[in-house]
Structure 1
């Protein structure tokens, strides 16, 4: 490692990080009761060298079965077993190896009821006393009380000595009980939250729940307390309603015209539309009419309309044969594009019963249940999606309670389960879900659904074994919420403590403030002083008593000790009682009172009140609020914490030509370092960009009348790009610009959401805001993604509507740093589009070609990075039919694997993502949040040291540091460039230069 002053061209590189988790180990935030401060003073590098290394057992284990011998399209699936995983059976009898001697399932799954409270009514007293007596002062005062019990030590009233300690323990216990009671209330609300699950059918994966006598006793008490609480609450609310109704009559005498809530409309319609057994509980499209208009026959008409629409979607005999079996002729552009057959888990020969969806509590949801979720509802367990209200099987999920990200994620239903929409379909769905065991990695899951594919009803055709892989993109995790989706139907895989959110939360820790830990040491120091004081008193007393013919004899009325040694021993313990105030017990009472009052003041602080959600700052642990005043270091990431996580497409380089005008915050930081007036420069640049935007919009509308082009949505300002798109720079650059935007419109996993209006609006929902920004820019430039069909994407290319078949998606992850889409073009050619980090794409370009374009594009990307923009490279490769078919078979085998699926998919993907042809690069801006520079400056003035972690290049990070006030011109800028992975030498270099 070398340490040197900052130079303009220095860059830091980082290699890929292997994040594959070991099974059953915590992957994300781990909360552990208690804390150890042994590593507090160690440097970061030393802690890295002592990091716990977990071994990946899954890499050493071999599969018990064999791989798939053919692809899932109508062929036999493998019999690979999940090792230490689980098998969940649906409408199938359990095999012998899954049953015990009495026929009950061997596998025992945990309940979905969770408890985050630390105490129970029985364990509260002993457990709370155990935690309280971790304070050495409490042990000391208890010892003094025990000494006071013995009259030989001269204590006058032992009961009076115990009062202070009893008061301290009682006050602390009451505070802890209130905190834990709030946790218990939240647990009960969550466990009793409503969920719609399938009832009146047999879930073979769970045995009959045997309720113990203790659980019956608890249930009876809980119901009694809940009944009394609701009775008192309802009376109070009814009185308030009477007072409000009297006021309402004076204001509104014309009847109730209030609009009903969406939930009440939905539930009223569902209750009518699902009266018959097996009817589907589906969320209808809400009517704009008020509740008063939905009366009598109109309500029944709406229910009949829903039932008719459901019958039209019913499974028809012979659906399995509705597949286009025509091969695509590359020479005939009008030939039909072959559709891929994914199969169907419904057995048309199986009779239906009386199963129906019923509202139940979360705590009653079990592994193997069918669950239906509605819009805005939270997810009660880890669920695999079978079908959704969206025709493409997509649903939107909000994961902010899980990972803190506010952008919606897209989850996809299994292809084989998209026909399962009603209760009767659930009864006829016969399949096995093979799953890996539960682990805490939020971004990884491997499983497979296996079933027998039947022909039409009463058909004599032999059923074929089929399989479909299940990944994290098919799973809804507990703690998330459904958004922008009417309904979702899924199956429960993990419940309770085995869900990913609970595996990451761990046990509720008992937190202690730093001042409490420091007071323990002060008590120890005071006790040492007290020990020597009492020892001196005992020695003096014993020595004085041993002397004869002293005047002491006239004042001594007797002694408990018969000898000088025994008298000194008694004096030692008597002195401890006399000098006990050396450790002030009143200090602890004062601290508990102050902390309680401080928690109230924090809750009442109007400056920490968040008006959009009507929620104040709520302290969860009252006894650590004073730690806020002792913060010395703050470690923060950049994206989404300092920045808005709202991506805006700013610049692009295509075929060696740069496009785009922007004045970024990092560019302002660069000018700030040079002493330039950034306010004046920024105002000048914004005027120039506004003029260029007006010209670009005029040219775009002349080129193509794009109904989805909205002025306020355009972030890419480049009039010269539109000029080249019309052929001003020649046909070669025109074709390159068109092909580049087409690549952006095809290489993604974005879902299109259309909002009707004049003009209509298209919104793109993506797992990454970068993807949405790329597709939105392609839309603004005339390459609009209109939506998805069963196998493809419909794109409007400058007014010409085309359909592209997406054959495979190789998804992005942190280790690959790239994603690819294999697309069959309308002319029959197969093209792989790949986008990712510039270092990754450049390493996969075809050797010996495009040398000039590579250098020019790299220079442009470096220039974009200096301006604080996030850069990506776009490349492509044409595949011949035979090569693709061979590769696709290997890909399907890897995708259906249970063990080491990610490693196998990475190996297969790596084989096809080679010999690429560079198309260009993009640059996206993620602006700082409002108030971030001022907040960082205040933290610096307070003496708090802020560390920011970013994956940007060195030049980009420095410029952003200046723009957000993390760095200043009065600082000495030092760049540490680590050339090797030897932590010892790196730490030695740091100690040498920074000590």
Structure 2
């Protein structure tokens, strides 16, 4: 329950209490006419409604910002310098800038264009992307800031733009309009000054919230009456918390000053929408970028994936290689130039200036020149390619139909694309229970009243066993009839109790359900209230007449249960709550609401009954209510609560206290003082709540059921099979949490359950941990599960972290109950910083899960019924827990393989690119002569080799998606960053160096100095030699990418073979073959030689042959689980994830067409089978218990059929190929559809 969702507020209790200046200890103030300077502190702001300031000279108005929303980062004037500054903060961009400047300052072997153009390309692409995104933000801002609004000025309504609203302006908002600023409600079209608001756009909560104006302004419903209002508001400075607002309003009426407290129930937030109310008037207190909506724009803390960390490590290693090559080259140059014939040959005499120049400066200059020559070993386009891959790849999650929840019409959302590959590295999953593992759809099941347990059955309470005064049971109680006629109270045997005891028992039941019907924040949407509650309800009638709205599903379930029993909450008007019992309408005056908070874990209301008696009704967790009770069946109820929890039911305890007039006056005074305090209001309220909620009489307890979500046990088991440890972190009590853990498969029945609960001291906790460690060591064969409560966890984390972690690491499953939100985050942080540094994932659905979601490496928000705060603060949002399996096992697996290959391939192809350049220096006496043409140097990473790897990193599916999802063990093959390990890194690096050696020395051998390769007897020159090496390199690295590709689409074919074709076409054009004005005809000379053709083919085959042989031997002798699955995987891979979700009907049609297209009829036998199937002659559906044959099935919906058809053919001694069996299944499946 959240403060903002309180339907009826405590301010109504102050409606009759006018505070005169001389009676209020807060201080004396004078009227506006006389002028006054109110108390002003730096933590607060003073706002004069309608900007009616005191007389000139007596008050200096505070300055506030205007109402413009600015979400853009740049302006026309600062875009260029700001975007350049941001981009050059990146190490890679700054490095290439330095290289470019070095080329400009000294004589280097390559043109500055070779570094400047790629750098310019990367900077320009990023700037265009950022500029376009900011342009969209500007358009959005202009649309919001230019929206028409109505403001009360000069005694009338003035139409203006939203950006022109000032703090203090009175704004009129009509039904279904969005509030243009943070407004304090002054009045509405209702007499009580209330209005209904939905904050779905802010926190995702769809339930209506009620806000109420203070009584003095609620009657001002016209512009003319508002124009006479003299009042000021003092409130705290802006803060981002949506649910916190502290202030007070000083109203001057007939020289009398009235002080009213203001809280969250008085504030209408910008971005919220007015519902079910014709119009309201409110005064702007926060505007523009100081509104709570704007303050919540702040970005989440940056999370870095394991792949990004590996990539930075590899960059450092290659930077070291680069510097080493430059140093070696510089040293060898001066070593060889020690001889005069090499240092100063006759044809290249030095100038006098060169002879007299400093050797140190020459050494530095040569070092920088070599650095420039080899700088391409650092891939300049790596970062921009990775960014594009992550950004474009993130769309596939939202497009995945399997992650779409049709009932709620919600698809998966990606809030950050930086962690896509991290989904494939998860080792720990931390999950909330309520709303995450369960449906969060509460159904009232049982209750305990005055020490007797009851179950609900069709609006009747059925006792479990005899009552205290009866000899035997069961005992039935009709809905309401027991309140008027004891003869309607039926049992299986006669009562032997006195009438007085029976009446007392009935009163307890009545008071229990009255408490349930009054102590809540439920709102009501009623179609018809006449006749409701006139008799016992039938369950089928309730939904058609009343519809309850609540921020907490527990409250809604309890109020609905009370209505079925017969005590019907009808609604509220002004400061009263209406309850109907047997046709009799009872009005309870709502005096105060003591709002729920996570520290107290309870809420209370103070009401005045029609008889004039005042009651405090409280409900909350058993641990927070029972210690406050001094009467009632406390111990019996405690036992019943434990029994309910063992069944997996959620429990709340109900208690009350009858207040005397003197007690209420004291409570009312204390609450007023606390609520009107501007400083430390929350702390003062907490103290007052503790003072009020004491000496309670226990009425009983409720038990509601929260069903498990679909496929939760299967998902948890799949996570366990994938090597992922699952921890459940919940605020529920111990028994409930353990019961749900057992039912969802988190704990197995055969698992040894260890407990660390109810620890009172550090020494006791340490001793218990040591005992648990010994038990685990003694019984290391069996699996262990650990249960920890919040109190014991605090003790364990205080001084015994290492011992606690040792116990947890040896447990297959851990359950933490009675957890506070910050404790959840602390547990995750403890795992994150452990020596193994595992990758963690947190999943939750409520606001109390936000801290752990933000703490984990990957945060998953469930779009449930507790609002959207978890989804808004998460990295990814899904509708159901079961979607987690595909998100990790399919998308996570694909993303990791794609980007890991991308990173390794980028470094590989750049090693291939630069190593021949380094080797060439041995043949040119380290004169810094470049091997390649400057144009080739510039375009290698930008044009010739960039697209194949980009498309691969977006579309690659190295194994069929359904196999990944159905075989969670394949997830282990990529865990712990295996694809970017040192071993894999060394393989790709050595492969790059070996290929580069073949490129260079192969060309040298085939084009020796004594060999004539042209028909006219001429030999290749330096540039033609470089063109040969470059041509072999482009073809080899491109075909290498083709060998790594398993999932071929027309896009892959287009960019792979198109890149090679583009290289030749460009070379023809650049070499003067297609364009005669360009004189360099290196490609013409190269392709004129048959020996060159032979050399190209031979070197490409030689390079790739060894790689192919290694792959074949590895797959045959030491195959991984993934490679084994690939052998049995279907040749047909379905691309369901590439089909856009909207509109859904169209996507389904596309999906069906795609499935048909992918069925390839490869023989006449296949065609005959297809024809026969359309005639309905070969379709047989067998027992669904048959398991799937992975080698033939690619639809999870058809697993049983695939296997059964295969076995049917085996019984008939038919030889079935994989394709044939695959076709049989698809024919059957598609015909059934």
TM-score, L = length of structure 1 = 0.65
Q: Could you tell me how far apart the structure 2 residues matched to 1:556 and 1:509 are?
A: 63
Deviation at 1:658, TM superposition (A): 0.7
Structure 1 position 200 matched with structure 2 position 153: yes
Tell me how far apart the structure 2 counterparts of residues 940 and 186 of structure 1 sit (CA, whole Å): 45
In the alignment, the residues of structure 2 paired with residue 781 and residue 722 of structure 1 have an alpha-carbon distance, to the nearest angstrom, of 23
Matching of residues 604-615 of structure 1 within 5 Å? 605-607=400-402
The CA deviation at 1:765 is: 3.2
Q: Does 1:111 align with 2:66?
A: yes
Checking the alignment, whether the CA contact within 8 Å between 1:71 and 1:889 is kept in structure 2 is no
Confirm or deny: 8 A CA contact 2:52 2:230 kept in the other structure. Answer: no
Q: Which moved more, 1:881-890 or 1:416-425?
A: 881-890
Question: Offset at 1:876?
Answer: 1.6
Q: How many Å separate the matches in 2 of 1:726 and 1:501? A: 62
For residue 953 of structure 1, what is the aligned residue in structure 2? 733
Alpha-carbon offset, residue 919 of structure 1? 0.9
Distance 1:619 1:805, change over 3 A: closer
* Paired position in structure 2 for 1:47: none
- String of CA shifts for 1:463-519, please: whole Å, max 9, x gaps: 432222111122222232233333333222111222223333326888877645543
Preserved contact between residue 476 and residue 491 of structure 2 (Cα < 8 Å): no
**1:566-715 correspondence to structure 2 within 5 Å:** 568-588=363-383, 590-595=385-390, 597-599=392-394, 601=396, 605-607=400-402, 625-660=420-455, 699-700=478-479
Alignment-derived partner of residue 807 in structure 2: 993
Q: Secondary structure of 2:183's partner?
A: strand
| CA distance in 2: counterparts of 1:181 and 1:419, whole angstroms | 45
Report the Cα offset of residue 951 of structure 1. Answer: 0.4
* 2:660 maps to 1:880: yes
84, 90, 93: which one aligns with 2:49: 90
Q: Which has the higher contact order (CA 8 A, sep 6+)?
A: 1
Q: What is the DSSP-based 3-state SS (H/G/I as helix, E as strand, rest coil) of the residue aligned with 2:600?
A: coil
- 2:627 aligns to what? 843
Counterpart for residue 432 of structure 1: 232
Hey, what does 2:247 align to over in structure 1? 447
Distance 2:738 2:251 in 1: 56
Structure showing greater Rg: 2
Deviations 1:781-818 (A, max 9, x none): 11122233444222222232222223332222222322
Instruction: Find the counterpart in structure 1 of residue 703 from structure 2.
Output: 923
Instruction: Report the counterpart of residue 142 of structure 1 in structure 2.
Output: 97
Note the C-alpha offset of 1:654.
Answer: 0.3
- Please report how far the alpha carbon of residue 936 of structure 1 lies from its aligned counterpart in structure 2 after TM superposition: 4.5
**Alignment counterpart, residue 135 of structure 2, candidates 173, 181, 194:** 181
1:435 shift after superposition: 1.2
CA distance in 2, matches of 1:918, 1:744: 13
- The equivalent of 2:785 in structure 1 is 973
Inter-partner Cα distance in structure 1 for 2:395 and 2:742: 38
- RMSD, aligned CA: 4.0
Any idea what the Cα deviations from partners look like across 1:600-655, whole Å, max 9, x if unmatched? 65565555567789887676666665555455555443334444433322221000
Q: Pick closer, same or farther for the CA change 1:114–1:136 going to 2, 3 Å.
A: same
> CA 1:384–1:569 in structure 2 vs 1: closer, same or farther (change >3 Å)?
closer
Q: Which has the higher helix share?
A: 2
> Is residue 716 of structure 2 the alignment partner of residue 770 of structure 1?
no
Hey, what does 2:522 align to over in structure 1?
A: 750
Change (3 A) 1:886 1:520: closer
Question: What does residue 266 of structure 2 align with?
Answer: 474
CA contact (8 A) 1:699 1:722 kept: no
* Alpha-carbon distance in structure 1 between the residues aligned to 2:89 and 2:722: 33
Where 1:914 maps in the other structure, the secondary structure is coil
Picking from 59, 72, 78, the partner of 2:18 is: 72
Q: Would the alpha carbon gap of residues 525 and 719 (structure 1) be closer, same or farther in structure 2, given more than 3 Å must change?
A: farther
Kept in 2: contact 1:779–1:785 (CA 8 A): yes
Distance 2:703 2:477 in 1: 24
Deviation digits for residues 889-908 of structure 1 (CA, Å, limit 9, x no counterpart): 33323322222223333333
Indicate the SS of the match to 1:488. Answer: strand
Query: Could you say what secondary structure the match of 2:629 adopts?
Result: coil
Q: Distance in 2 between matches of 1:193 and 1:546?
A: 78
Aligned position for 1:258: none
Decide which moves more: 407-416 or 535-544.
407-416
Distance in 1, Cα, partners of 2:18 & 2:81: 58
Equivalent-residue separation in structure 2 for 1:937 and 1:379 (angstroms) = 47
Q: Work out the CA distance in 2 between the residues paired with 1:420 and 1:828.
A: 31
Q: Distance in 2 between matches of 1:429 and 1:963?
A: 61
Shift of 1:769: 3.2
CA offsets 1:515-536 (integer angstroms, 9 cap, x no match): 4554333222211122122212
Distance, in Å, in 1 between the alignment partners of 2:208 and 2:434 is 16
Q: 1:410 to 1:184 in 2, by over 3 A?
A: same
Q: 1:783 to 1:440 in 2, by over 3 A?
A: same
Q: Where do 5+ consecutive residues of structure 1 fail to align?
A: 1-18, 21-67, 202-352, 455-462, 663-694, 706-717
How far 1:727 sits from its partner (Å)? Answer: 9.0
Equivalent position of 1:734 in the other structure: 506
Distance 1:650 1:903, change over 3 A: same
Asked if 1 retains the 8 angstrom alpha-carbon contact of 2:242 and 2:292, the reply is yes
Cα distance between partner residues in 1 of 2:493 and 2:595: 31
Asked whether the 8 Å contact 1:111–1:496 carries over to 2, the reply is: yes
Assess if the C-alpha contact under 8 Å between 2:205 and 2:551 holds in 1.
Answer: no
In the TM superposition, residue 920 of structure 1 has moved relative to its aligned partner by 0.8
Deviation, 1:170, is: 1.5
Match for residue 540 of structure 1 among 329, 332, 336:
332
2:1086 aligns with none
Counterpart Cα distance in 2 of 1:720 and 1:989: 57
Q: What CA deviation, in whole Å up to 9, does each residue of 1:33-53 have, x standing for no partner?
A: xxxxxxxxxxxxxxxxxxxxx
Equivalent residue for 1:364, pick from 164, 175, 182: 164
The whole-number CA distance in structure 1 between the counterparts of 2:107 and 2:475 is: 98
Cα distance in 2 between the residues matched to 1:362 and 1:634: 45
Distance in 2 between residues matched to 1:732 and 1:116, nearest whole Å: 64
SS in structure 1 at match of 2:671: helix
Q: Which moved further from structure 2: 875-884 or 721-730?
A: 721-730
1:920–1:538 distance in 2 versus 1, CA, 3 Å: same
Question: Per the alignment, in what secondary structure is the counterpart of residue 700 of structure 1?
Answer: coil
TM score, norm. by length of structure 2:
0.53
Is the contact made by 2:50 and 2:153 (CA closer than 8 Å) also made in structure 1?
no
Is 2:174–2:278's contact at 8 Å kept on the other side of the alignment?
Answer: yes
Whether the aligned pair in 1 keeps the contact of 2:186 and 2:218 (CA below 8 Å) is yes
Give per-residue Cα distances to partners, 1:177-206, cap 9 Å, x unaligned.
233333333333333344x432433xxxxx
Corresponding residue number in structure 2 for 1:899: 679
CA deviations on 1:933-988 (whole Å, 9 max, x unpaired) are 55545555555555443101223223223333444456420234554647442313
Contact residue 569 and residue 580 of structure 2 kept, 8 A: yes
The separation in 2 between residues aligned to 1:697 and 1:395, in whole angstroms, is 43
CA distance in 2, matches of 1:397, 1:696: 45
Q: Deviations over 1:51-97 (max 9, x none)?
A: xxxxxxxxxxxxxxxxx9x953678545454633112112574236x
1:491 pairs with one of 280, 283, 287: 283
Deviations 1:677-700 (A, max 9, x none): xxxxxxxxxxxxxxxxxx999943
Cα distance in 1 between the residues matched to 2:48 and 2:188: 21
Q: 1:514 to 1:479 in 2, by over 3 A?
A: farther
Aligned to 1:46: none
In the alignment, is the contact (CA less than 8 A) between 1:389 and 1:485 conserved in 2?
A: yes
Distance, in Å, in 2 between the alignment partners of 1:491 and 1:719 is: 59
> For residue 168 of structure 1, what is the aligned residue in structure 2?
122
